Amino acid sequence: MTQPENAAALKGKTGLMRLWNAFAYSRRGFVAAWQNEAAFRQEMLLLVVTLPLGFWLGKNGVERALLLGSVLLAPVVELLNSGLEAIVDKTTPELHELAGRAKDMGSAAVLLVLLLAAVVWGCVLLG
C-alpha cells in the first residue's frame, strides 16, 4: 500500500515530520520504479555510466551542469511516465483510445528527454 491508512491524519504534519514522511514516500516510489519498470532500471544504469563521465568530460561548471542535468532528466520523466501509466491502468483496465493516447504521450516525453540528452552531449563534446 503506497498511501497511509489515514491520509487525513498526515495532512497537518509540519516541519521535520513532514519532511521525513515525504522522504519515505519518495523512497517507496524509487523502490516501486526499480522493481516494476525495466526502463527505469536501464536509465539508472545510464546514469551510473554518464554521471562520472559528465564530471570528467565537462570543462567547466556550465558544461558539467548541462551534461549531468540532461541525463538526470531521463529518470525524472520516466518516473512521471510510469506514474501516469499506473493511473491509466487503474482507471481504465480495458483498452481505450484516450488511455492509449495518454500512455503514448508519456512515452514520447521520455523519448524527447533522451534525444535532448544526446543533443546536449553532442554539442558539449563536439564543441
Residue 63: active-site member: no
pLDDT at 6 over 90: no
Q: Is the domain 38-126 a CATH 3.65.10.10 member?
A: no
pLDDT band for 94, please (50, 70, 90 cuts): confident
Alpha-carbon distance values, 20 to 5, 76, 80, 105 (Å): 17, 21, 22, 33
Locate the domains of the chain by residue range: 1-36, 38-126
pLDDT band for 11, please (50, 70, 90 cuts): low
- The residues, any chain, with a CB within 8 Å of residue 37's CB and separated by 6 or more, are 78, 82
CB 87 within 8 A of CB 55: no
Residue 15 has a pLDDT of 84
User: Could you give the residue ranges of the DSSP H alpha helices within 12-96?
Assistant: 15-36, 38-57, 61-91
**Tens digit of pLDDT for each residue in 41-86?**
999 999 999 999 999 999 999 999 999 999 999 999 999 999 999 9
Of 78, 85, 94, 97, which residue is the catalytic one? Answer: 78
User: Residue 91: helix, strand or coil by DSSP?
Assistant: helix
pTM over 0.85: no
Alpha-carbon distance values, 64 to 12, 46, 67, 111, 113 (Å): 40, 16, 5, 22, 17
